[in-house]
Each structure stands twice: as structure tokens, then as C-alpha cells.
């Protein structure tokens, strides 16, 4: 057993509400406003970045195909066009559930088939792929948090205010939720309140 005066909790809120933790009723109610959207990412490694001849570097293609949005490597990538690159498909809602319910090989095969409708060259250039379905990940059970309509301001204000000695952090506790920026913001917010509420003294390096 580990004892502490305070704790910063960063597990997703849909996991947190399954844990017996001493949170106030207001916080439990706010967590109840949260639901998590499904999302699936499929990454496809190719021998060359053939797509740069058509679309250049960076950005994404928004499609009406099951692959959702197709993202291209950053324009800051220093490698030459004839070197390897990775295309990434992001899907949400129903499309995410479909990809995520398939086996890894089935999902990758489906993604390559759909991408070939935009970039036919992928059929010969594809090497290996990976799949991340957040809703089927036991440690996540969803990709990113959404609050119920008309509960956003109320719920977010509660979640971003510490219930000492418990400090919540994670993308759900931010107005930029769903992004890594939100996770960083909430972590800084939790650390600031933990520091302030416990009267820690700033220690300057010698």
C-alpha cells in the first residue's frame, strides 16, 4: 500500500467512475455527464511517399469513404520523397466501430483498399500497418471525452476545480478536450492547484 497526502488522477473518466474513489457528489454528477466517442486509427507504412507528387507534404484529405480522414506526414519531415512514409487514417463513430471490430489484418486490408480509391499506388507501395481502436482498449474504453448538451460549462467547471486531496487531469478536463493540448493544459492546471493548496515552497537549484 502507498500512502500520500494528495494524488493527481489521470485515468480516463469512464474508467474512473468504475473505481471506488472518495469523490464528492458534485464531481460524480459531472463525471456522469461525460461520454466517450469511439475512434480508430489505422497507420499504413509505404516504401515511398508517392502521394507527395499529388498533395505535397502535410495536411489531410477528408473523404466520404469508410477511412474517414487520411493524414499525411508533416511538411517538416526531412526525408527524401523516395524514402518510407506513413499514411494515417482516422475514423469516428460508426466507421470507427466497423474498423475496430475487425481483426488487425482485416482492418489493414480494408484501409488499403479504401485508400487505393484515392491513391491507387498504395496497392504496390504498402508494406506494413497497425491499428489502434481506443474503444476496445481496456485502459481507455473510448477515444476522447464529450459532455452532454447543456452540461458542458457546468460539468467542465466542476471537473477543472480540484476536490482536495484528489486532483483530476486528462484531456477531458480541458476546453480543448480530444487533443494532446488539452491533456497538457489539464496536467498543468492540476499541478498548479496541487502546489498552491499544499503550500509547497519553491526550491531554487544551487
Q: Is 54 helix (H, G, I), strand (E, B) or coil?
A: helix
Statement: residue 205 has pLDDT above 70: no
| Residues carrying CATH 3.50.50.60, the chain | 7-36+144-197
Q: CA neighbours within 13 Å on the CB side: how many for 143? A: 16
Cα 167 versus chain centre, distance: 21
pLDDT at 202: 53
CATH of domain 39-136: 3.90.660.10
pLDDT band of 35, cuts 50, 70, 90:
confident
Look over the chain and give the mean of its residue pLDDT values, rounded to a whole number: 88
**Could you tell me which residue, 148 or 179, shows the higher pLDDT?**
179
- Class level of CATH domain 7-36+144-197: alpha beta
| Residues carrying CATH 3.90.660.10, the chain | 39-136
Amino acid at each position: 500500500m502507498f500512502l500520500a497526502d494528495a494524488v493527481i488522477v489521470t485515468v480516463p473518466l469512464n474508467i474512473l467512475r468504475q473505481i471506488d474513489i472518495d469523490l464528492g457528489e458534485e464531481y460524480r454528477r459531472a463525471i456522469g455527464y461525460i461520454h466517450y466517442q469511439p475512434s480508430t486509427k489505422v497507420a499504413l507504412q509505404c516504401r515511398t511517399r508517392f502521394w507527395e507528387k499529388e498533395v505535397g507534404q502535410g495536411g489531410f484529405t477528408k473523404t466520404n469513404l469508410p477511412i474517414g480522414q487520411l493524414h499525411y506526414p508533416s511538411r517538416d519531415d526531412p526525408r527524401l520523397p523516395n524514402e518510407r512514409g506513413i499514411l494515417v487514417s482516422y475514423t469516428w463513430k460508426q466507421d470507427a466501430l466497423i474498423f475496430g471490430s475487425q481483426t488487425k489484418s482485416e482492418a489493414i486490408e480494408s484501409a488499403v483498399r479504401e485508400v487505393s480509391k484515392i491513391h491507387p499506388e498504395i496497392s504496390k507501395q504498402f508494406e506494413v500497418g497497425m491499428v489502434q481502436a481506443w474503444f476496445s482498449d481496456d485502459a481507455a474504453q473510448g477515444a476522447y471525452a464529450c459532455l452532454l448538451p447543456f452540461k458542458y460549462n457546468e460539468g467542465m467547471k466542476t471537473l477543472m476545480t480540484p476536490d482536495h486531496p484528489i486532483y483530476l487531469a486528462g484531456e477531458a478536463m480541458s476546453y480543448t478536450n480530444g487533443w494532446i493540448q488539452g491533456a497538457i493544459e489539464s496536467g498543468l492546471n492540476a499541478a498548479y492547484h496541487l502546489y498552491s493548496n499544499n503550500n509547497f515552497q519553491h526550491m531554487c537549484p544551487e
